[in-house]
């Protein structure tokens, strides 16, 4: 029972801590005259990735690399099939042209690059699969390319990447306190979450890969799911897919890139199945933008996404 409390408490603490960190850092950046656009592209983007990054760093340090990689791929899969699926069932999701032809393919590219870098045995004929430090730096290099593209699109006014809410103006003392509180919360939340997850995996006889793909991936994606449901109910779903795809790109290039740069990650060849599912998710998302609704993900497609996600989770748990 204690392990489940650690798991649930860790996820909750990480989510709240990420928000405190973003609020404090954004307020200080605002004090120094940095505009909302830059804050949105840097601090806020980092804050939404902080839960997954915290989980991955602690997983890598404890040697639970299947949780680290499973968390990223599980988040990417749930972002498309679960979050977009739920949102589309509530209200049709409109797709911007740039998202359709550039960001969705870039999301697919991120998973393909990861597959190439991780499968050393198959590609380089080596003795083991690793996402090495040099692989991590390659992933971070792709992130820089994506950020340059995003900044360019933002300046042209062709994409909606500013924070959905106006950045709060807070006293420096309070902002500093929130930053410190957020960092401490992320540390302890990540520690307790991984401890609980590893122990639960041992007790239930489940692999760390499955724990990472299911419980942790969905847990760290809860803020995005809640935000997407609210946006869909308010009939403002057009920004959902851009945020989801941006998150998927950040997950691979930023989170796995950073984690691998800190410590090389052994890659379990079984995870190739989940890589293929993540590729399939991006491909299917692209195809849906040209089928029933054409640049609109309609309710029928949302239901199909949810059925695929439930089937995938059931298969992962059983097999």
Question: Is residue 278's pLDDT more than 70?
Answer: yes
278 vs 181: CA distance, rounded Å: 34
Q: How high does pLDDT run on average in the chain?
A: 85
Instruction: Determine the Cα angle at 28 with ends 175 and 167, to 5°.
Output: 90
Question: Is residue 186's pLDDT more than 50?
Answer: yes
Provide the pLDDT for residue 62: 81
Provide the pLDDT for residue 38: 64
Question: Is residue 41's pLDDT more than 70?
Answer: no
* Torsion angle (degrees, nearest 10) of CA 121, 127, 133, 138: -20
Q: How far is CA 164 from CA 62, 73, 161, 239, 293, in A?
A: 36, 26, 8, 9, 26
Question: Is residue 273's pLDDT more than 90?
Answer: yes
Give per-residue pLDDT as tens, 199-228. Answer: 887 788 888 888 888 888 888 887 778 778
Provide the pLDDT for residue 162: 47
144 CB-contact burial (10 Å; exposed 0-12 / middle 13-18 / buried 19+): exposed
* Torsion angle (degrees, nearest 10) of CA 59, 63, 67, 72: 60
Query: Which of 285, 274, 301 has its CA nearest to residue 217?
Result: 274
Question: Is residue 72's pLDDT more than 80?
Answer: yes
- C-beta atoms surrounding 184 within 10 Å: 14
For residues 61 and 260, the answer to whether their CB atoms sit within 8 Å is no
**Share of residues in the chain with pLDDT > 90 (%):** 35
Determine the average pLDDT of the residues in 57-61. Answer: 85
Q: How far is CA 79 from CA 163, 178, 203, 264, in A?
A: 19, 28, 28, 26
The domain 2-318: what is its CATH number?
Answer: 1.20.1420.30
β pairing state of 130-131 and 93-94: unpaired
182 vs 297: CA distance, rounded Å: 36
Provide the pLDDT for residue 31: 83
Find the helix packing angle between 45-61 and 2-31, rounded to 10°.
140
Residue 242 pLDDT class (50, 70, 90 cuts)? confident
The neighbouring-strand residues paired with 131 are 265
186 vs 55: CA distance, rounded Å: 9
């Amino acid at each position: 029972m204690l392990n489940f409390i650690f798991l649930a408490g860790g996820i909750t603490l990480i989510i709240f801590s990420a928000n405190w960190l973003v609020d404090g850092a954004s307020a200080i950046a605002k004090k120094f005259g940095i505009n909302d656009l830059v804050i949105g592209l840097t601090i806020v983007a980092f804050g939404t990735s902080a839960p997954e990054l915290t989980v991955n760093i602690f997983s890598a340090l404890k040697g639970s690399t299947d949780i680290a990689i499973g968390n990223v791929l599980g988040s990417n899969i749930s972002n498309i099939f679960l979050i977009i699926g739920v949102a589309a069932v509530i209200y049709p999701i409109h797709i911007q042209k740039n998202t359709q032809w550039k960001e969705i393919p870039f999301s697919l590219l991120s998973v393909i690059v990861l597959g190439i870098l991780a499968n050393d045995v198959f590609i380089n004929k080596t003795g083991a699969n690793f996402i090495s430090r040099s692989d991590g730096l390659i992933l971070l290099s792709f992130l820089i390319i994506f950020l340059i593209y995003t900044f360019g699109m933002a300046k042209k006014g062709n994409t909606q990447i500013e924070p959905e809410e106006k950045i709060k103006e807070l006293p420096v003392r309070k902002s500093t306190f929130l930053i410190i509180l957020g960092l401490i919360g992320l540390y302890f939340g990540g520690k307790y979450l991984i401890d609980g997850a590893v122990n639960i995996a041992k007790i239930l006889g489940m692999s760390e890969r499955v724990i990472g793909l299911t419980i942790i991936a969905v847990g760290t994606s809860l803020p995005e799911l809640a935000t997407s449901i609210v946006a869909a109910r308010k009939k403002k779903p057009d920004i959902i897919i851009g945020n989801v795809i941006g998150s998927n790109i950040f997950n691979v290039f930023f989170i796995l890139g950073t984690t691998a740069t800190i410590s090389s990650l052994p890659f379990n060849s079984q995870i190739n199945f989940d890589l293929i599912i993540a590729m399939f998710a991006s491909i299917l998302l692209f195809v849906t933008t040209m089928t029933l609704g054409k640049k609109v993900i309609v309710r029928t497609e949302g239901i199909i996404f949810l059925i695929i996600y439930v089937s995938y989770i059931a298969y992962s748990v059983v097999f």
